Amino acid sequence: MIHVGDVVKTYPLAGGSFTAIDQLDLDIAEGEFVAIVGRSGSGKTTLLNLLAGIDRPSSGTVRVAGADLGSLSESGLAAWRGRSVGLVFQFFQLLPTLTVAENVMLPMDFARTVPGGQRRDRAERLLERVGIAEQADKMPATLSGGQQQRAAIARALANDPPVLLADEPTGNLDSVTADAVLELFGDLNAEGRTIVVVTHERDIRSIVGREVTLKDGRLVTDQAERAMVTV
Amino acid sequence: MTSLLTVKLRRDLWATRSRLLMMVIAIAVSLTVFGAVLLAWSTMSREATSAYMSTEPASATILLDKAIDAQQMAAIVAEVRSRPGVIEATGRTQFSGEVEVNGRLLDIPLQVFVAPPDDPMRMAKFFPGLANWPPSPGEIFIGRDSLALLGVAVGDIVTVEVPGGERHSLRVADTVYDPSLSPSPQEQTGRGYLSTASLATSGDTAVLDQLKIQVADPGQSTPSRDRDAVVAVAGDVGEWLQGSYSLSIREIQVPPPYAHPHQWQADALLLSLLVGGGIALLLSTLLVANMLNSLFTQQIPQIGIMKAIGARSRDIGRLYLAMTLLVAAVATLLALAPAVLIGRVLVGQIFAFLGIEAASIAAPWWAYLVVLAAGLGLPPMMALVPLVRTSRTTVRAAIDHTGLPSSARTATGALARLSRIPGLDRGLLMALRNTVRRPARFLLAAGLLASAGTVFVAGVSLSAGVAAIEQQQTTQRDWDVDVQLARPASIEEVTRLLGQVPDVSRVEGWNRVPTGVAGPGQIPVTRTYPDQGHGRVTLTALPSGATTFRPPKLLEGRWLDPAETGAVVLNQITRNNTLPDVRVGDSVQLLIGGSYTTWRVVGIVEERGGGGGAYATAEGLAAATGQPQRVNQLRIATASHDEQTRVGVADALDRALTDAGIEVASAASVSRMEAISGGHLGPVISIVLAIAVAMGVIGGIGLASTMSANILDRTREFGVMHAIGARPERVRRIVTAEGIFLALASILVAILPMLGLTLLLGTGLGNLFFSAPLPFVISIPAIAIWITIAILGAVLATEAAATRASRLTVREALAYL
Ligand SMILES: Nc1ncnc2c1ncn2[C@@H]1O[C@H](COP(=O)(O)OP(=O)(O)OP(=O)(O)O)[C@@H](O)[C@H]1O
Ligand SMILES: [Mg+2]
C-alpha cells in the first residue's frame, strides 16, 4: 500500500543544505496501523508530507495507494489526494466560512465520488461516527479544539480513502479526548484502512500494530507486534 | 465551481464586503468618467459630421475680386460643373453690416448670406423652419440661434445695411437652422439669409462674388476628404476663371473637409478627457487587481486546506475569477446609468458649442460595447496574474506562507539601521518601516495619490497659464477706448476731431485691412469657413512711433524697421494657414483692395489668437497701394482710466466722428474686450479638474485599502502589541503616521510628473486654442491645496484602519486565519 524507497529529502539552507530524511526505506502493507515516533526535529512531519504528496523527495521513490507520486502533476496529486488519502494535520484546520457539515462535504464535492443528493447524509453519518453530530450546522470557530479535530477526521474520511495520514491528531487534546480519537483510529483500522499516525502519545503501542522510530531522518527502530527489528 | 464553493464564495463576499465595495466604487467612478466621455465623443463625432455634411458644404469657395451678375454666374456655374473633379457648383455672395431691429441700432453686426432666388439649394444648404427658399423680395430669414442675440422675432422689421451703404428694411419671414456655421452667440454675430431679389432695388445687378464648388476624388460622387486635392481642383478652376473670363480671384477658401468649424476643438477636448478617463480607469483597475491580490493572498491558508482535500487549481481559480467578475459586473452596472446620463449632459453642451441639433443623442452601439468590455474585461485582465498564481499555490507553499514577501526584508533592513540613531521616536520609526514593508503595495498607493495630485496641479496651473496670458495682455494694453471706423479716414482729420472731445489724452490711429497671402503668381488660399471667422488674414499697418503696440515674440528673422517699405512680418498662424513653407527673405503677394502687392517677408512672429496675422509699417502700406496713409482703427488713452470715463469718452467719440460724417463701426471701452476673451479654455480646465477629483477618489480608496490590507497582514502583530501592553492610542498613532508617510511620499513622487504634465498640457492645449504654448506656470496655491488635501485625506482614509488596529483584541488576533 505504501512504499518508500531510498528517499532523501534535503532542505536548501543559507549555507549549504539540511538533510531532513536520509536514505529512508519503508514499506507499509494494506490494513496496517503504523505510528511514527521520535524526538522533535527528527523528520516525522517531513516523512508524512512526502507520503501525502505535499513535498517531493530530493531523490528516491514514494508510492502510495497504487500511485507513484513522483510521476503525478500538481493537479494529478490533488485528484489522487481527494480519492485516496485522508489527511488529519494540525495545519489543515476547517474552512472558517463553511459549517462543519459543509466542511465534511467539501472533499466529496471536489472528487465527485458521492452523488450530490447523498453528500449531506454521508456527512451527518461521519460526524455521528466521530461523535459531534449535533455540531453539524455550526461554524468551526464556535467549536472547541477537540471538536474541530474530530470534524477534521470526519472530513478526512469523506471519500472513504484507503489510507489515512495523521500528524499529531491528539496534540491539543486532553487525555480522555485523545484516547477517544485514538480509539476511533483503531476502529477505522479494523475496517481495513491503512493508517499512518505521527504521535507523542505514550500508550500508543496498545493500539497500533507497528511503531517506527526516526532519529535525524533515519529509521532507528521498526517494532512490529512486539518483534524487534534493528536496522 | 462546485456548489459548496459557491456557498463559500457567497460567505466570503459577505465577509469582505467593505473591501469589495471599495473596489466596486473605484472601478465605477473611473468607468463613469471614461464611459461618459466615450459615449459623448462617439455621439458627437457622428452627429457633428452628419449635421455639418447635411448642408452639403462647399469644398472650396472661390472669391471673385469683383461681383458679377446672376446671368454670367449661372453660365460659369454650368461650365464649372463639368470640369474635372467638380461635382456641384453654385454662385453666392455674403456681406456683413450694421443692423437695426424695429428701428433700434444694434452693436453687433449681421452676417448675411445671399443666393439667387432660383438657386436649387443642392449645396451650401441651410434649413428654413417653415417657408421654402427663396424668401420673397422684402423678406429675410434669420438664423434661429441669432434670434435671442438680435432680440428679434418672426414678423419684426430689421433694417440691413448692404454693401454700398444702402439700407433695406426687411420683414423677418422665417428662421433658419444652419449647422455649417459656428453658433451665432459665440461669434457675437447675427446671421441672415436673403435672395438677390431683395438686393436688386439698388439697381446694381452685379452682386455675386462667390463661386462655391464641391470637389470629389476621381471616380467618386461624394465630396473629397482630401484638402490638398480640393485645393488643386479649386486652383485649376480659379486659373480657368482668370484665363477664360478675365476675372480676378481674390482668394480661394478651403476649410478642412468634413469638419464643422468647432469640431476640432470639441474633438481635442473630448479626446484629452478620454485619455484622462482611460488613465483613471487603468489606475483603478490596477488598484483593484492589487486589492484582489491581497484578498487572494489572505486566503492562501484556506487554499492549502482545499488543495489537501482534493481541490485542483482549476476549482480554486474559478472561485476567485467569479469573485473578480462579480466586482467588475457590479461596478459596470453601477457605472452604466450615470455614464449615460453624464454623457448626455456633456454631449448636449457640446452640441450647443457646435450649434447643431442632434438627430439622436443615443451613442452608437459600439461605444456601449467598449464601455461594457472595459468594465467587465479590464479587472479580470489585470487580476489574471495574481489570480492564476494564487490558485496554483501548492499545499507546501501554503504551509510556508507567512504573509510577507521576501523582498520586504531589504527595505526594512535599511530602515532598521535608522533605528540606531538615538532620539528618534520608536513609534514613528515603526510606522515608517511598516509603510515600505510591502513595496509594491506602497508604490501603487503612492502612485495613485501622486497621479491625482499631478492632474489636479496641472489643471489649476493651466488656468493660471491662461490667466497669465490675460494678465500680460491687460498690462500691455495702455489705452482705454477702441474705435473701429467703417471706412479708413485721414489721421489728421480724426486727430483734430478727437482733440475737441474732453478727457482724451492721446490718439493713435492704425489701419487694418483684410488681405490674402499668396506666393508669387499664385491665388491666395486660406482655410476660411463660410462664417469668415477662422483663418482670415488682416494686414496691420503700424503708425510710426506706435506706443500701444509691442512687437510679439520673434520666431524667425527680425521685426520691422521704422518707416520701412516693402517689408512684411507674418505670424505663425498666417504662415501655417497660407504658405506653410515660406521663409524669411521670401517674396509674397498680399492682395489689398483688389490688387496684388509684392512684399518681402522679414520676420515670423508668434501670437496667441486675436493677432492680426501680418504686419507692415503705415509707410509700407501707403507705398504698396500708392495711397496716402489712412486709419480705420483708433486707440485712445483717456485722462483717467475708470470705467465711467472710458464709456463716456467712447460715446462722445462716436458722436463727434458720426457728426463729422465719419462712420463708426464700434466705439467701446477696452474692458469689454477683456470680458469676451479667455473663456475658451474654461471647459477644458473644469474637465481636467473633474478627472483630478475622480483620480482623487481612486487615490483615497487606494490609500484606505492599502492601509487596511497592511493592518490585516499584521493582525497578529497588533495582537501581540496589545498583549505586551501597547495602549490603543499608541497603536492608532502608528497607523495614522503610516498613512501620512504614504501621502508625503506621494507628494514627492508627484513632483516630476507634475512639472511634465503641466508643460505637456500647456503646450498641447496652448497650441490648440491659442496657436502657441501657454506660458509655463505652476500654481503654488494648487500645490498647497493638494498637500493639505493629501494629508487630510490620508488621515481620513486611515481612520477606519487605525480604529480597527487599535481595537483588535488579543483573542481576535490569535484566532485569525
Ligand atoms: N521547510 C523547511 N526548511 C528547512 N528545514 C526544515 C523545513 N521543514 C523542516 N525542516 C527541518 O527538518 C527537520 C525535521 O523537521 P520535521 O518538521 O519533520 O520534524 P518533526 O519530527 O515533525 O518535529 P516535531 O516533533 O517538532 O514536529 C527539522 O530539523 C527542521 O528544522
Ligand atoms: Mg512535526
Q: Which amino acid belongs to residue B57?
A: P
> Could you tell me the residue ranges of all domains in chain B?
1-56+260-401, 58-253, 402-477+672-817, 479-669
pLDDT recorded at residue B418: 57
Whether A78 and B307 lie within 8 Å, measured CB to CB: yes
pLDDT > 50? residue A9: yes
In the predicted model, what is the mean pLDDT of residues A205-227?
A: 80
Q: Is B77 exposed, middle or buried (0-12, 13-18, 19+ CB in 10 A)?
A: buried
Distance in Å from the first CA to the final CA of chain A:
21
Q: What is the mean pLDDT of chain A?
A: 87
Angle in degrees, 0-180, between the axes of helices B263-298 and B728-770, rounded to the nearest 10: 160
Whether B308 and A54 lie within 8 Å, measured CB to CB: yes
Query: ipTM score of the complex?
Result: 0.90
pLDDT digits (tens, 9 = 90+) for B86-106: 999 999 998 887 788 887 777
Nearest to B310 among A54, A105, A110 (CB): A110
**A10 in any annotated domain:** no
In the predicted model, what is the mean pLDDT of residues A197-218?
A: 84
The whole-angstrom separation of Cα B576 and Cα B772 is 12
Q: Which residues contact B123 (CB under 8 A, 6 or more apart)?
A: B56, B57, B58, B88, B89, B90, B212, B214
The whole-angstrom separation of Cα A189 and Cα A119 is 23
Q: Which amino acid belongs to residue A22?
A: D
In the predicted model, what is the mean pLDDT of residues A158-187?
A: 86
Residues surrounding ion ligand 2 at CB below 5 Å? A 45
Closest atom of ligand 1 to A198 CA is 22
Task: Give the angle B480-B486-B490 at the CA atoms, nearest 5°.
Answer: 80
Confidence at A230, pLDDT banded by 50, 70, 90? very low
**A230 in any annotated domain:** no
The whole-angstrom separation of Cα B242 and Cα B64 is 10
Confidence at A127, pLDDT banded by 50, 70, 90? very high
Tell me, what DSSP letter sits at residue B546?
-
Nearest to B309 among A49, A54, A107 (CB): A107
The whole-angstrom separation of Cα B743 and Cα B442 is 10
Torsions phi, psi for B216 (to 5 deg): -120, 155
Whether B305 and A92 lie within 8 Å, measured CB to CB: yes
pLDDT recorded at residue B274: 83
Containing structural domain, residue A196: 31-52+68-222
Torsions phi, psi for A167 (to 5 deg): -110, 110
**A231 in any annotated domain:** no
Polymer length in residues for chain A: 231
DSSP B781-807: HHHHHHHHHHHHHHHHHHHHHHHHHHH
**A14 in any annotated domain:** no
Sign of the torsion angle spanned by Cα atoms B387, B388, B391, B397: negative
pLDDT digits (tens, 9 = 90+) for B685-732: 676 777 777 777 777 777 777 777 777 777 767 777 777 777 778 778
**CB of A20 shorter than 6 A to ligand 1:** yes
**A196 in any annotated domain:** yes
Alpha helices, DSSP H, located in B125-226: 147-150, 184-187, 196-199
Tell me the pTM.
0.77
CATH number, domain with residue A176: 3.40.50.300
Nearest to A110 among B309, B396, B399 (CB): B309
Q: At B107, which helix (H) or strand (E)?
A: none
Asked if the C-beta of B310 comes within 8 angstroms of chain A's C-beta atoms, the answer is yes
**A57 in any annotated domain:** no
pLDDT recorded at residue B630: 85
- Distance (Å) from CA B724 to ligand 2 centroid: 29
Residue B315: its chain A contacts at CB < 8 A? 110
The whole-angstrom separation of Cα A127 and Cα A101 is 8
pLDDT digits (tens, 9 = 90+) for A42-82: 999 999 999 998 889 999 999 998 889 989 888 888 889 88
Asked if the C-beta of A141 comes within 8 angstroms of chain B's C-beta atoms, the answer is yes
pLDDT recorded at residue A123: 94
Strand partners, B648: none
Q: Is the model more confident about A35 or about A225?
A: A35
**A15 in any annotated domain:** no
pLDDT recorded at residue A57: 92
Chain A closest-CA separation from residue B392 CA (Å): 9
Whether A97 and B8 lie within 8 Å, measured CB to CB: yes
pLDDT digits (tens, 9 = 90+) for B418-463: 556 666 566 666 666 666 667 777 787 788 888 888 888 888 888 7
Residue with cell 475569477: B321
In the predicted model, what is the mean pLDDT of residues A196-204?
A: 81
- The set of cell numbers assigned to B45 is 463625432
Best residue among A10, A44, A50 to mutate for probing ligand 1, ranked by most atoms within 8 Å of CB: A44
Segments of chain B scoring below 70 in pLDDT = 1-2, 200-205, 402-437, 533-536, 609-612, 671-685, 687, 716, 768-771, 809-817
